Amino acid sequence: MDKKIQRGDIKKYNEIQRYLDVARIASWEAGRVIKQGFNSNQRVEWKDDIDPVTESDRAAERVIRETILAHFPDHAILGEEGGDNNSTSEVRWIVDPIDGTANFTRRIPLIAVTIGVEINGELVVGIVNNPIMDEEFYAAKDMGAFLNGERIFVSELTSLKKAYIGFGLRREPQLREPILEAANRLYGEVRTIRRIGCAALSLAYIACGRIDGLSEIGLMPWDMAGGALILREAGGELANLNGDTFDLDEPTVLAGSPQFLEYLISVFKDVKLDFTGTKFGPQ
């Protein structure tokens, strides 16, 4: 017999649905800003030696924040360009206005507005919206994952020799060299490795079966939050690089269909990374 839906379940369902609706509206509004900026000659600034930022990043995040706060003025917001608003709400919005800014600055259309919503640390809504290619991935907890309104699922592929694996690197030598050693083994066993340059989009691509797995390092919570829920709702799984339970506050992720995540863990579990002196570790 099916479990009866309790009154509290209906209230939570309606609450999460409302968050999803507002997150989608916010991503659409940000997408308009991004489309306008994509073909313009914007000045590129640099947060550090390798991380660019543009006025479109800042303008898109402003639009997202304004949309969220118009509906939920007390909610917490963690954003790449605006930091934390220090709210103590149990609901937190995690925002990256343009994941893949480096692609954006070179007019490579592999970018995404990404928004995740947490309730007491549990992801309940995820958005990964590529306005340049008109592809909107979204999910809500226990409600499935969708691409432009159509239900999506991870690939059923089981053959390593046919697998496409997403892959990310950092420039810091202490992070780059150990990962490249593991990548050499990976490349010898799978069909190909793809460097997409946008972690959120990579997670969404696993969710719809375009690629089969992902290894990324040097990530922040806003790079992963939206895509992580979409992937889970599409039947995928995530872990941190050493195979531990996935944690947004850890700067590494392995992801894929269940069979490919198990394989990726076997490849990367013994990789030792030193984040000391980087923005991801102790200074």
Predicted pLDDT at 1: 33
**Angle, CA of 258, 264 and 270, to the nearest 5°:** 135
Which tokens sit at 77?
A: 């917001």
User: Domain 7-151: which CATH class?
Assistant: alpha beta
Mean pLDDT, range 241-266, rounded to an integer:
94
Predicted pLDDT at 87: 86
Q: How far apart, in Å, do the first and last CA atoms of the chain sit?
A: 55
Domain limits, the chain: 7-151, 160-268
Mean pLDDT, range 67-87, rounded to an integer:
89
What are the tens digits of pLDDT across the range 20-48?
999 999 999 999 999 999 988 778 888 76
Predicted pLDDT at 107: 93
Predicted pLDDT at 4: 45
Which tokens sit at 194?
A: 């793809």
Predicted pLDDT at 251: 94
B/e letters for 217-228, b = 16+ CB within 10 Å, e = fewer, are bbbbbbbbbbbb
Predicted pLDDT at 85: 75
Mean pLDDT, range 89-101, rounded to an integer:
95
- For 160-268, CATH gives 3.40.190.80
What are the tens digits of pLDDT across the range 177-205?
989 998 899 989 999 999 999 999 999 99
Predicted pLDDT at 173: 85
DSSP code string of 94-138? EEEEEETHHHHHTT-S--EEEEEEEETTEEEEEEEEETTTTEEEE
Mean pLDDT, range 112-139, rounded to an integer:
97
Q: Is the pLDDT of residue 52 over 50?
A: yes
What are the tens digits of pLDDT across the range 14-27?
999 999 999 999 99
Query: CATH topology of 7-151 equal to that of 160-268?
Result: no
Question: Average model confidence (pLDDT) for the chain?
Answer: 91
Q: How would residue 159 be classed by pLDDT, with cut points 50, 70 and 90?
A: very high
Predicted pLDDT at 281: 64
* Alpha-helical runs (H) found in the chain: 7-38, 55-71, 101-105, 173-189, 199-207, 221-233, 258-268
